[in-house]
Every structure is written in C-alpha cells, then in structure tokens.
Structure 1
C-alpha cells in the first residue's frame, strides 16, 4: 500500500510541476481523458481501442491556441530510435520536414511551419528553450533522439505570456523526455536498414527504489551509423541520456537530466538541378581529392551536452518550479565548398585539419510559480539565459578568387531576460479568460577581430526590448468539447550578422508580430477532431540572400501577412482500426523558402491490445518555391524555382511478445518502410548556391526500410 501511494504521489508531483510550468506543457499530457458522465466515452488514451490512443496527432481540450500533441506511442511505433524531433513533428498540420540523407542521417534543420523557417520558431526541451543565439536556429542531430522522447507538442502560435523563448512568434516545438519505468529492466536494442544504417543501444531502468527514498531513473546509451542516402555522406553518432526523479517529501520532488552527444559526419551541401538530372538524386560527395566536394575535405564533428536540475514543490495553494540548466554545442568543421564539381588545389586543404569552429555554452534558469485563488490562477515567472559564443573561419579560395569560405573570427555573448505574469480568471468552471504580459530583453555583445561584412575588426553592443501582451479565452461547451480564441504579440531580435556596415553599424529592425487565432477541439473514444483559423501580421519581416561574394545579406522586407486554416481528426472505426487525416491551407504575402501552400495527411491505423500495431500513412506537401536570393556570377538575380506538390507514403508495423524467453519481459519486432511508392525527384532547396549563383537542392530519399528488435529482462 505504501509503495502504491508513493508512486501515485510521485506522479502527482511531476504532473503538478508541469502544470506550474505553463499551459503548453499541460497540453502534452491531455491526451483525451473525458468525463465518464459525458455520455461520449470516458476512456483515456491508454485504451488501444480508441481514437485518442491511435491518433498520430490530436488537439488538446485545454488548448488556447492551435496545437498538435504527438504521443510517445506514435513516436515508438512510427519513427526509428535515431530520429530527430524534426522527423517526429513532420506529421503535424502545417509542418514539413524531410531529412535529405535519411532519418537521423544529417544535421539538416529544414523544418517549415506555417511558412516560418528554423530561427523563426521556438524549440524547448522539458520547458527549457535551447538554440544557437547567433540566429536562433537548432542543431537537430546534436541533442535528443526519439528513443528518449516522451512526446512532442507542436504549438502553432506565440503562446501566452508564460511561453518563453527567443523566437516564439512562429510557434513552439516542445520536446518532452520520457519518464522512468515503474519496474527495473535491462533493455538492449538493435536496428538495421537501408544505406548500411545500424543502431545498437541499451537502456537500464532502476524501477521505483524503495530503499533509496522511492527514487527512479533510467540510463540509455545508443550508437548509430549510416552510409547515408547521399553518396559518401556518412554519419556516426553516440548519445548518452539519463534521467532520475527523487521525492524529497510528500510535497517536493527533484529531477536530474543529463545528455551527452558526439556526431561525426560527411555531409554535402546540395547539388544544382542540372547536376541531379545528370548524376542522379543520390549525388553527394566525391572521392576525387582535386574536387571541393572530396569526402576528405568535408568532415564535421559535433559535440554537445544538455543538463538540468529541477526542483518542484507544492506549498499550500502554491505550485513552485525551478530549473537550473546548462547546454553546449561545438562544431569542428572542414567544409571545402558549395559546388560538387568545382576543382580546387588539393594542397590548399590537405594540410588544414580544420577551417572552421563554432561553439557556445548557455547557462540559465527558469522559475515558475502558480497560486490558486478560488477557481482562478495567478501565474508569474522569470527566464534568464546567458550564452557565450565563439566562431572562426579560415579563408579558402577557388580558381577565379571565388570565396568558398569567408574569413571570420568573433566572440560574442547574449543575455536574455524574460519576466512574465498572467492571470487565469475563471468566473465559472467552463470559462477561462487569461490576460498576461511578458517583457523581453535581449542583449548582444559582439567582438570580432575579423568580420566579413566590415572587412576587418568590429565591435558593438546592442539591446532589443519588447513588451508582449497576450489575451486568450477558453470555454467548455461540453466535457469533451472546447473552443478558444487568442490575440498575442510575438518578437524576435535580428540574427548576429543582420546589420549593414559602411562606416558604422546600422541594425535592421527586429521582427514583431500580432497573432489572431481561434479554434475548437472535440474528443471522445470514437473521435478526436480539432480545427483552427489564424492571421499573423509581421511588421518587420527579415529576408536574406547570398551575394556573388558568398556573403549573406539581410534586409527588412516590410509588412508580411500570413493566414490559413488547419484541421486534424482520427475516427475509430472498430475492431482495432481507425482512420486519420489532417489538412491545412497556408498563405503568405511574401515568398518564403521551402514553404508549402498546403499540407495534408491520410492514414489507416490498426492496434490490438498493445501487442500488434500497424499504420499506413500518406502525407502530401503542396506547391512551394525554392532558390530565393540566388545571383549569377555578375550579381544579377536568378528567379526562384517553382516546385509542384508531392505525396510520400510510409508503412510501419510492430509486434510485441510477452515472455518470449524465460528470462525476458517484453520483446518487440518492428518493420518500417519509408517512401513505400519510391517517389523520387527534387523536393527542397538546400539553402546555398554554387560558384555561378545556381541554387542547390536535395532530392527525395528513395524507398528505404528499417528493422528494429528489442527485448527487456
């Protein structure tokens, strides 16, 4: 009885801390529980014979802005253990992401959400924002793998005042780590598949340890390698993840999380349309040492870590949560060029073990407090982050004095301070109105001994500030049906190099947005259904292009407007079968790279007693443009390339066996087939250009498979 009570207490403490964090984190755990008295079900997402359990994505009954929850069940059965969060999130409405080298095989951050690109949306891990402070982008293969992911919540909007981050106006992808198992277990697992892809790992769960204060935790190590879909684009990765939870008292718990990762890769920066047409969609790196795309000249090593300690407690009517964290990233790079067919003198590179370094470390703290006042909640908190950044690049030239890399040597540091307060007013149990305000201060100190824009030394210090109000309303029409509306301001400071320089530094304006959104969510055992409409006004949209000297030039494009509608649904047919679909229509007043005008998905899913699972899911990506900013050798603009829609179909099946061996608990065998119909062709811009100004692209990864096997004892 004592053990059962303590387990229940532990769960309540952790969920209570999540509730204190923000409403967006609460949503991650609202997977469809409805009142048994509603007459519409009463089953939770743990029931395999229900729409909430089988749904690939679903809305939340407590959502105050458009949101899709991707459960751990979907992640475990539809992604490989090496998949990144971009591979997981791509199923969500308005989201498009394709790894050009196969799932987990590259650091490609090309996820688009409502026409917003990486650097324009927020990514958090267990409520902690993490990004490269230079441009707020994310290094997707350097941190968390799906093997350790509990769920992913795709928030399509700036959130309320409690939503923290440097680039929240485009939305937030919230990654949550999985929790330790209740029982002790030792679980080895292996995977093998196309492109000589292999992964092997082992996870140890302590279970709930009564003799150690009812602590629990797990440690997971995995090693991944692949030759890659693209020729000679190899990748190797080692990742260690651990999580421990310990109750300190009846009302307090402490959580420790740590991650260490090392990735080595040879990765091409794309190919021109003519090169792909001539040499095929797998055209990547070269074996010729006189070629700038020689595999030996294009090597990258990434090392990273992420740690935090979380203390959460309930004291009377107060819920308090504090996370003290640090994370780091280091990229040792040798990347010789942007043209696979360009020649370069081998002696220019053979003696240079490294031509670039980027590294940073952040230290920060996230504090949140909630006070229950009758039916209402007063919430306030503070996020502080300090990131120290260092980068340098040596100059490498090709014949004709075309820059392959541009000299740079800089030290910088960024300081973010975001206090917030909001009041969730509940005049009735069905209605919640939440006004709030957040203050955003971002300071960058830049010190360069060599700046490519200035052509020499450059120093500056600049602070950008914004006051960001939000107002949302949420109403339960029934226990399983809610509606919401939101108006919120968004803000993002300019990237590190986004200034103009003549005799002095002239900064471009930060991006500020006003978001209007409304939607509804229905949830029962038979049906999960959600839909929304949105309108976004960006008063200072930032665009960039690469000039004929290889420099990226930023400018304010003026006012940009985005609007659209989104919907997703899962219907449980019966006998273990359900059907799934989502559809979005997205419009933008300015052209954006790799931003489809629509997305859609349809699927058939089967699940039986958590033993058998199968899914056949197709996703269609609408028309889009790629190659913006391209210029020829004379500096003349090259028109963007229009790309038509395409559809990719994936098949996944998992079979679980209890006590297959006398010594085993559960054994799982999984088969995954991606791009079942073997669609090929160019599908996305790589974001760069060759020495003649032609845009570089990636093609669709051909049909590939993966077999996974795991057993626990």
Structure 2
C-alpha cells in the first residue's frame, strides 16, 4: 500500500517525466515495466519533486493536483494522465507534450485534448487569437484558472485572456481538475473546475537553449532560456531566465499579431528550513481584429431565413464578409470601410509577479506565505457603425444622437480596461500520524479603470455620437464634456476567504478530507458615466457564503484507487450586474425585470471515479452530477435588449468521462479519451448553449533513439450556438467537427534538435462558433477552424 506520508520518498526517487510534475514509482519497480526500471536515480539535475521547495508542485502547494502519482511506466509516458491520489476527475498534461505541441499554442489549446473540453476562437491560427474553452458545458468565467496555485482573472468578470499573460514558454505543465477541489482550492468560480498551470522548473545544473521557428503566414518565433544551476557562492540559489518573440500575419485577412515575453524565476535556500521563491513575467502583445464583429458575417443580405433552415457557409450572400472574402475573412484593406485593419487594433500589456517564503517550523508544522500582484492594460481602437458627429450644438431627443453637425468620416471608439490586483495567501500545515491539518486565508484587492470614448477615426478627434441618458429628459442639454463618452467608471473589490481542511488517514491507503471555506466578496463601482445607462453611479454590494467540502481517496493497492467528492460552490456576480440599459422605456423595463431576477449562482457537486495504472494499460473513469441554481446567461432571444442578462433557472449537469493509455511495445504510446456531457436548462428543457454533447480524442506517440513522432485528433460533438427560448426549432446548431495535429522531432546529437508540426492535418474548415445577429440568417457571424498550417523548429542546447 502507498501512504501519503511516504510520497516524498517515492517522488524523490523518480525524475523520468515532465519536470514540473512529481511521479511516484510503484513498490514493484524492479519489474520490467515499472517506472524505476529505466529511470536514473534522483540526481543533482533533477528539476522538480514534491520534496523540492520553490517548485510549483511541492507538497506545500494548495491544489489537489500539485502532486501526480502514477503506478506504472505506461501512465508516466502518456501525455495526459490522472493521479492515483486524486479526489476528483483530473487530466494532467505533461511537459513533454507541451514541449512538442505547436509552439504558438496558448494554454487553452494545450488542454484541448483533455476530456469534456472544447475549444473555440482559434480561427486566426494556433496562438494568434484569443481562445476560449468550455469544460463540461461550463464557459470561461465559470471555472478557475491558476498559476502556481494563484488565481488570476479579469476584474469585471472572472474570464481570461489566453494570449495575454502566460505563453507556453512560461508553462511547465497544466492540470485540468474537473471539479471544485478541496476547501484550499482558491478562486471566484471554483465549482466549474480548475485549470491549474505551473511555472517552468528551475534546474540544479547550468544550461541554455535557443530556439527558432517559422511557418505559414509569415510566422516567426524566437525563444531563449538560461538555467544557472545551483550557485554555491549564493548558498545554492538557482535562477531561470527566458524570453520569447512572436510575429505572424495570421490565417485571417489583414489580422497580424505580435507579442513579446520575458520570464524569470529565482529559488533561494535560506538556511536549512526556509526557501524563498521570486517569480516575475511580463508580456506585451498587439493584434488586429474587430471589437464589434465576433466573426465573419454571413446572412441573406436582408431577408430572414425560414425558421429551422440550417445556417452554413454555403448560403452566404455575395455582400457578406464570407461572400466577399471567403472563410479566411478577418479585416479589409479599404480605409472607407469600418473593417479597415488599421482602424481595429488591440494593444495589451500584462505582468504577473509573486514572492513566496516556505518555512519548516518543526514538530510537524510548516508555513507557506505568498504575496503577489498582477496587472493588465488593454487599449483597443475599433471602428463602429454610425455617423460621426463633429460638433455639439445643443439638445436633441432621447432616442436620437446629440443635435450636431454630421460628417462622412469613419466612426469608432477607444476602449480602455486597466486593472491592478494585489493579493496574499497564507497557510499553516500540521502533519502527524493520522494525517494533515491545513488552515489558511486569502485576501485580494483589485482596482480597475474602464472607459469607452467615441472617436472620429478619420481625424482622430472626439465624436459626439452618444445618446441622452433617459434621466436627463427630452430637451435637456447634457454636459458637453460627457457627450463623447459611452462609459467612464472605476471599480474595486475587496475579497477574503478562510479555509480549513483535515486530510484524515485512519488506515493505510485511505484518505478522507473534510473541509470548509468562507467567502466574503465586496465589489464597488463609481463614475460619472455608467455603462449602458450613461448615468452617474456610486454603489457597492457584498456577497458571503460558507461552503462545505468532503473528498475521499481509497488506494486498494499501489496501482488502483477509487475517489469521491461532495462540494458546494458560488459564482460571484459580474460587474455587469450593476448596469442598466439605454434605449426605449420598454427596453429599460425589461432589463430591470431581468436584473431583479438575477441571483448569485450556486452549485452542488457529486463526483465518483476510479484510476488504474496497469503494467501495459492505464485507465481512469468518472461520473458526475452538478446542480446549478440561478444560472445566469446572456439573453440572445429575438428582440432582446443588447447585452442583457437573464436568469435561466436551474441547470443540471450530468456526464461520464474516461481516458486510457497503453504501451504495447517499448517506445510506443497510445492514448484516447471520451466524454458524454449533459447540460440541460430545466426551464427550457434543452441543452444550454456552447455545451457539446460529446467529446473524444485519440493519439499515438513513437519515441525511440532520438526520434519522436506523434499524431492526435480531437472530436467535438454537436452543440448549439445560442440559448433556447423554450419554443421553436434550435436553428443555431453546430455540426460535429474534428481537428488533428502531427508533430515530429529528431535529436541530431545531444545539442541540436530539428522538428516540425502540422496543425489541422485534414484541413477541416468546420464552423466552431456562431454569434447570432438581430435577425436569424441576416447578420449572423461565423468562426471556422483555421486552414492547415505547418511550423518548423530548430533548437540548440548547451
């Protein structure tokens, strides 16, 4: 039997697999298939184990996915696996897989092969546009994303920008936890799952690597990495520095991208009982895409399609984007059109830093302190429909723009979203014969400034195109200084969470972990012009809840375990819950009704599963039931108020998932996974939007004598693009599609490696997302899989 207190010794004995994940060999490691059979003994250049403080996956980390324990060589070599000690469905993506994936991939694309995950937004090519993933039907913002166990997200709602903070050169490995985790799993949207990224490992030995990549669409990527190894003069301190430059014209017309990243991580031993870790990364990227359009327009050109007619790229009119430019439409090169590429630029600068002190206090006690901050600045310039108003002359009407002189110049706007987040996580662990007690707290403060201001893009001067706020009344002259402002607001949050859990080990192989978490979240907003209403605002709200947790893991033997989980969750309402709409009195009345019906989302989660790591085959299977109350969604029904939110009531999530890997012969690894995901809106009696009914993936890897060849294919089942109103046909239905990737790499010698990847091997141009317009089939917008592309890779190591 394997006991968790013994994991540290087992984990230190193996350094075979992805450096940021600690894998434990089985007691029968003398058998030919066991991990230790071909693994070297732990050496000075071992980059990470659960015993090495300062690494992402050390045993003082917060989440249940920090330590991945395997029971066979087969599980270790699989690119996606689950831990024998997990307490919830889990897929760990290895560093070896990340290292050989398309180099431009963002973190969403790196997890796309895992069960129940579907990807959208990659229509400009892998890593060249921001992507979103859905996990079991939960959308971005309904699950957490963490980096070294620190949650990060936008401050208006907990969504994420996949190309903004952490390119793949900053990631050692990723673990997708399809569940809330224990009480110590932190974040604002824990109930939908967790995407836990871990930073690059700092190695004990001196080394460096340079990498050059090139491919389709004028793509170029340059990377560098330096490892100092242990520096004896500094008491064994070690440092890693890395950087990346990327540029590409993109798969879509006139949609270039450019990004730069620098990364540093320092680990400093302080005596024998303390370790200081300092990490910082900075990212700058810009790209060109419409901030108004969410894809390429199709449509009939004016006459709505008959209800039930399937939308497809084959019935687009000649006047639509797809009709004019085809599936690769992004932007145009015509300055007289709003889709002119120079009118539509997004510029982002981000940073993320933390300092961490880990201390062994003796007598079973240890302490972990982390202070962090991160920042995000998004400056967006976008063209928009409408007529430029060149001068303000007086009052107009509620429904009409300010009475002013108009021109034929191009109307647009400048949008800013800028925030800075500060946080602290502290915890104390006490380990004794019967288990471990962990208590801790998380505090976070966020400060955000946002604005949207109309511009005359032809002259660069303000445009006074905003309408009256209804409270001003007809004929009232509003302040000229506000006449070009759509919104100007400042928001803040103060949140804290307390957590405690007891990892109880009453008998060998059995771990029971009850826990509790208290959430206290305060959000405030102020400003002279609020979004939608354009009225002044100064208000705040506080939400609190106590959440219970309970998990169990029973290792029947060193290769086989069972687990179960019960947990509750709460989704903190978005900043948009403070908004009211502009428009007609009827629109405002509808929106007020919607707002009154909104309540914080709550969930109850039940999950069971089993993990088995055999000599030649590794399998894990799970089932889940998640009940969501007060599900909040965007109202996409015909004639709905723009961007209004509605409470679609209770949603039941049910499903089964499984993944398997096999090693029939040495050097050959086969893997596959599949899921069935039921996410039904009980009010409408139908599957919710953007929730595929099924997913599946399969792949093969051959790795022998310096040659690595792999192929994988991901299948995404049928789904709906928009929510169901409760009557009529589900016209916004997306057909199933699949996407494959081929990779090859060869080590010419110990220092030089060449390779390449082919993405979308079979050149599928399937629709991956539909954004519905005002009238069905007239102004809807499509996104497609990007065309087939290739990238070549040269690496030199020292």
Q: Which ranges of 4 or more aligned residues in structure 1 deviate by more than 6 Å?
A: 5-10, 342-353, 396-399, 502-505, 547-550, 687-693
Counterpart position of 2:753: 668
SS of 1:574's equivalent in the other structure is: coil
Give the counterpart of 1:517 among 607, 611, 628: 607
Is 1:290–1:346's contact at 8 Å kept on the other side of the alignment?
no
Counterpart position of 1:492: 571
Tell me, in whole angstroms, the C-alpha distance in 2 between the residues paired with 1:196 and 1:651.
Answer: 20
Tell me, in whole angstroms, the C-alpha distance in 1 between the residues paired with 2:780 and 2:773.
Answer: 6
Is 2:659–2:673's contact at 8 Å kept on the other side of the alignment?
yes
Mapping of 1:429-440 within 5 angstroms? 429-440=508-519
Matched, 1:324 2:371: yes
TM-score, reference length from structure 1: 0.89
Cα distance, 1:4–1:356 mapped onto 2, change above 3 Å = closer
Is 2:259–2:284's contact at 8 Å kept on the other side of the alignment?
yes
Give the counterpart of 1:57 among 73, 80, 86: 80
Counterpart position of 2:623: 533
Is 2:49–2:57's contact at 8 Å kept on the other side of the alignment?
no
Mapping of 1:466-485 within 5 angstroms? 466-485=545-564
Mapping of 1:265-276 within 5 angstroms? 265-268=287-290, 269-273=294-298, 274=316, 275=320
CA offset digits 1:624-646 (Å, max 9, x no partner): 0114499xxxxx99965111111
Is 1:441–1:464's contact at 8 Å kept on the other side of the alignment?
yes
Cα distance, 1:483–1:349 mapped onto 2, change above 3 Å = farther
Tell me, in whole angstroms, the C-alpha distance in 2 between the residues paired with 1:692 and 1:412.
Answer: 38
Is 1:281–1:700's contact at 8 Å kept on the other side of the alignment?
no
Matched, 1:621 2:706: no
Give the counterpart of 1:102 among 117, 120, 125: 125
Matched, 1:205 2:252: no
Mapping of 1:265-664 within 5 angstroms? 265-268=287-290, 269-273=294-298, 274=316, 275=320, 277-278=322-323, 279-316=325-362, 317-337=364-384, 355-395=414-454, 407-499=486-578, 501=580, 506=596, 508-545=598-635, 551-590=642-681, 591-608=687-704, 611-628=706-723, 640-659=731-750
Q: What's the offset of the Cα at 1:448?
A: 2.6
Matched, 1:148 2:170: yes
Tell me, in whole angstroms, the C-alpha distance in 2 between the residues paired with 1:220 and 1:20.
Answer: 26
Tell me, in whole angstroms, the C-alpha distance in 1 between the residues paired with 2:222 and 2:260.
Answer: 10
Tell me, in whole angstroms, the C-alpha distance in 2 between the residues paired with 1:261 and 1:510.
Answer: 34
CA offset digits 1:29-78 (Å, max 9, x no partner): 43x2x3xxxxxx5xxxxxxxx42243121111110011100010110012
Mapping of 1:97-136 within 5 angstroms? 97-98=119-120, 99-108=122-131, 110-136=132-158
Tell me, in whole angstroms, the C-alpha distance in 2 between the residues paired with 1:690 and 1:106.
Answer: 27
Cα distance, 1:680–1:148 mapped onto 2, change above 3 Å = same
Tell me, in whole angstroms, the C-alpha distance in 2 between the residues paired with 1:295 and 1:700.
Answer: 21
Q: What's the offset of the Cα at 1:525?
A: 4.5
CA offset digits 1:345-377 (Å, max 9, x no partner): 699897999611001010001112211121311
Is 2:373–2:422's contact at 8 Å kept on the other side of the alignment?
yes
CA offset digits 1:102-127 (Å, max 9, x no partner): 1110123x211100111111000001
Is 2:55–2:201's contact at 8 Å kept on the other side of the alignment?
no
Q: What's the offset of the Cα at 1:688?
A: 7.3
Give the counterpart of 2:102 among 74, 79, 83: 79
CA offset digits 1:175-209 (Å, max 9, x no partner): 00111233222322111011111111221111111
CA offset digits 1:117-155 (Å, max 9, x no partner): 111110000010000121110111111111121100001
Is 2:639–2:774's contact at 8 Å kept on the other side of the alignment?
no
Structure 2, unaligned runs of 5 or more: 1-42, 299-315, 391-406, 458-462, 468-483, 581-587, 682-686
CA offset digits 1:238-257 (Å, max 9, x no partner): 11111111111212111110
Is 1:627–1:695's contact at 8 Å kept on the other side of the alignment?
no
641-650 or 117-126, larger mean C-alpha shift: 641-650
Cα distance, 1:328–1:542 mapped onto 2, change above 3 Å = same
Q: What's the offset of the Cα at 1:455?
A: 3.2
Tell me, in whole angstroms, the C-alpha distance in 1 between the residues paired with 2:785 and 2:57.
Answer: 42
Give the counterpart of 2:199 among 171, 177, 193: 177
Cα distance, 1:16–1:623 mapped onto 2, change above 3 Å = closer
Q: What's the offset of the Cα at 1:499?
A: 4.5
SS of 1:308's equivalent in the other structure is: strand
Structure 1, unaligned runs of 5 or more: 35-40, 42-49, 631-635, 660-665
Cα distance, 1:460–1:101 mapped onto 2, change above 3 Å = same
CA offset digits 1:249-308 (Å, max 9, x no partner): 212111110011111110243122334652311011011112111111100100010000
Cα distance, 1:297–1:350 mapped onto 2, change above 3 Å = farther
Counterpart position of 2:111: 89
Is 2:267–2:276's contact at 8 Å kept on the other side of the alignment?
yes
Cα distance, 1:459–1:212 mapped onto 2, change above 3 Å = same
Q: What's the offset of the Cα at 1:213?
A: 1.1
Is 2:356–2:370's contact at 8 Å kept on the other side of the alignment?
yes
Tell me, in whole angstroms, the C-alpha distance in 2 between the residues paired with 1:464 and 1:160.
Answer: 21
Specify the structure having the higher radius of gyration (Cα).
2
Is 2:410–2:456's contact at 8 Å kept on the other side of the alignment?
no
Tell me, in whole angstroms, the C-alpha distance in 2 between the residues paired with 1:131 and 1:287.
Answer: 34
Number of paired residues?
676
Is 2:768–2:784's contact at 8 Å kept on the other side of the alignment?
yes
Cα distance, 1:452–1:374 mapped onto 2, change above 3 Å = same
Is 1:406–1:452's contact at 8 Å kept on the other side of the alignment?
no
CA offset digits 1:366-402 (Å, max 9, x no partner): 1122111213111111111111011001247999x99
CA offset digits 1:668-706 (Å, max 9, x no partner): 212100111111132213587799973322111111111
Counterpart position of 2:472: none
- Between Structure 1 and Structure 2, the one with more strand by share is 1
Counterpart position of 2:37: none
Tell me, in whole angstroms, the C-alpha distance in 2 between the residues paired with 1:449 and 1:200.
Answer: 45
Matched, 1:26 2:66: yes
TM-score, reference length from structure 2: 0.80
Counterpart position of 1:663: none
Q: What's the offset of the Cα at 1:451?
A: 1.6
Q: What's the offset of the Cα at 1:544?
A: 0.9
Tell me, in whole angstroms, the C-alpha distance in 1 between the residues paired with 2:741 and 2:551.
Answer: 37
Counterpart position of 1:633: none
